[in-house]
Chains A and B, each alone.
Chain A
């Protein structure tokens, strides 16, 4: 069971790394999204080249009880192709912005993947048998001369090598003028939302030719535009509730029952600005790059440029917790503005949601899922974890130099100023091209997937 903090600090070990080794990164290989499915058995990545790669966890091997199953490539397919918008004379990138899995209902797996303009529902199915013994076709597919057919037989299924096929089942297109930044599947598992810079649309998974616009913040006069939507998510339990975040650091919670167009929020979450930290860049660094509900739906987490904030849905005027990811960058904001790093969109995630199970004599207690650790990325291939219970945090590095399985990762430390201690790295030595924007946590186990520019790292906790 997942540790509830306290003496149960997780010790992370390197498990695997996927992707090219050479430093020369091909643009198309840049990973743009990472997502576990609901069971954690499958791990999907999307890249800038429009491809989706799905890894599958090996079933646990009795002889290898010291580690959890490894992830191996299960399926690779081209989800989106580059397109050209003739009206604007601009290319539409094939980069996969988000992948969201549907819960499994039958043998096949379904996921939604989206680029800037189009969302696609993909069915991933296995084929391990094929029919043999056709009457009119030879085994190699050639048609038999009907006059040579003298007897009839019933074709039978024979085993074959496992083949994983991905086929697009729905294409949800032409509903977004601006760039899609989020998709989120509703808890009813029938509808989902897609959000772009100015609008949010509600779709039914079965219907592709229309969607409902539920949020529209486009001003009548575009010259008055000062704020855009940056992320959106459905509440995990309440199928009429969703939130969306903005570039001004606000989160709005909307109830779809209130009106067809949810332009008026039910709740507005915003923290007042700290006057002592005010700068030219206050607005930019307050822009929220990711929002994630906790598994219970009681809390939500937001990521802005320098921090992670936990909000209680019942308290709108300030977050209940704030964690500084890389405060040492505050004095570098001008440079980071100049080189565009200040616009990097970091994601954040909660730890897995396995229920706490407590055995007491003959009674088993199932407690609500615990969201006690948050994880997010930083620069120099560092990523950070914050334990909400112990208030401890740790900085780890995703690098091939650490790839000794079952060796606990060494914590890193950035020296903000003053004398640099041994093993510390100074702020000026940080590599701002090595950014970890996407991380994911296995829904049930202490396994995490961390994406560097073009590599995917998998870490596990040290099993005793």
Chain B
């Protein structure tokens, strides 16, 4: 028996994460990495929150869990400034542990592309890659951490592969519609030239729905993380967040709610200007800055955070 608590679904899930690498995959390795990271993030938070000891919790354990959370946050933060690259079926099927690393040079030419944050795919520098893909290679990865809040019910295996494929193919379609830009400004310039209406520079502005939610939790975490080492309360140190906030905040539903027209995904930079414009209109009422029609509109990342927070909260 592997450990106490016997949450069988989790064991299966873990076995999936950590199972032997069977065959090289193209899509799921990066997804697995992100999902595993998400899982570990959730586990870490649960540990800090659910522990209601009668005695003082171990400082060593608390510090180690805290460091884990911080590391994941740092990674997500870094990813927040990088362009997402979706691994499509056309990617070379590189085996095993080299998959993730070899993917780096393949995407390096896109480094100058508009950088859009997503927590689906990471092109973070090699040094910050914490888990060799050999541990994460798994195309049978079944459970999603996002359904954990439902309690100890076995989550239905999300159809990752099919969604991916449809997503990728939809992305491909969109790519065909727009010429490949070389910079964020080019995109903005093109779309600005094409359309007299203003819209934000998507590269800075748009993010997938899921990310801001997790960022909400994480930005709060960044503020209050190490908090109460001295005064130990039974709720750990994140006393301003409730359990629901954490669990719900981590849900990234962008994979499941794909809608090319309205979801703010990484494909945003290549979306038709009209959708970006629509987005701007939705955002405008929440913006604290007046939006003047003829000025190129650049939104601050943190400001967008705030806006997304409000959107998510409503």
Binding site for B on A (CB under 8 A): 85, 88, 90-93, 116, 178-179, 197-198, 222-228, 230, 247, 276, 278-280, 282-284, 287, 331-341, 343, 417, 428, 430-433
Contact = CB atoms under 8 A, between A and B. Distances in A.
A331 B229 CA distance: 31
Interface stretch (B56-64, B105-113, B157-165): B56-64
A193 B55 CA distance: 24
B155 interface: no
Given A332-B18, A337-B40, A225 B55 contact: no
A116 B54 CA distance: 14
Contacts of A343: 58, 60-61, 64
11 contacts: A90-B53, A179-B56, A179-B59, A222-B230, A247-B60, A287-B64, A335-B18, A338-B10, A338-B14, A340-B47, A417-B20
Nearest to A278: B130
Contacts of B231: 88
B133 to A, nearest CB: 11
Contacts of A230: 60
Contact of A283 (B20, B64, B135): B64
A227 B135 contact: no
A341 B232 contact: no
Closest 3 CB pairs of A and B: A339-B3, A223-B226, A222-B229
B132 A91 contact: no
Considering residues A278, A279, A284, A428, which has the most beta carbons from chain B within 10 angstroms of its beta carbon? A279
A177 to B, nearest CB: 8
B3 A341 contact: yes
Contacts, number: 122
Contacts of B53: 90
A7 to B, nearest CB: 40
Given A279-B135, A283-B64, A331-B18, A92 B55 contact: yes
Contact of B132 (A85, A227, A276): A276
Contacts of B132: 276, 278-279
A357 B37 CA distance: 57
Contacts of B56: 85, 88, 90, 92, 116, 179
Interface string B126-157: 00011110010000000000000000000000
A331 B67 contact: no
B35 to A, nearest CB: 12
B18 A197 contact: no
Interface residues of B, number: 46
Nearest to B127: A275
Given A332-B18, A337-B40, A432-B3, A247 B64 contact: yes
B265 to A, nearest CB: 26
Contact of B3 (A247, A279, A283, A335): A335
Name the residue in B11, B58, B132, B225 with the highest tally of chain A Cβ atoms < 10 Å from its Cβ. Answer: B58
Interface string B201-222: 0000000000000000000000
B68 interface: yes
Nearest to A229: B60
Nearest to B2: A335
Nearest to A341: B3
B40 A334 contact: yes
Contact of A428 (B2, B17, B40, B58): B2
A85 B231 CA distance: 12
Given A179-B56, A247-B60, A334-B36, A339 B130 contact: no
A197 B58 CA distance: 9
A207 to B, nearest CB: 27
A10 to B, nearest CB: 32
Contacts of B131: 278-280
Contact of A228 (B15, B18, B60, B225): B60
Contact of B226 (A85, A88, A225, A331): A225
A454 to B, nearest CB: 16
Nearest to A332: B18
B59 A178 contact: yes
Contacts of B63: 225-228, 247
Contacts of A197: 59-60
B43 interface: yes
Nearest to B15: A335
B55 A226 contact: no
Nearest to A178: B59
A222 B40 contact: no
Contacts of A332: 2, 14, 18
A454 B5 CA distance: 21
A262 to B, nearest CB: 21
A234 B313 CA distance: 56
B29 interface: no
B24 to A, nearest CB: 18
Interface in B1-32: 1-5, 10-11, 14-15, 17-18, 20
B55 A284 contact: no
Given A90-B56, A179-B59, A222-B230, A338 B43 contact: yes
B227 interface: yes
B73 interface: no
Contacts of B225: 223
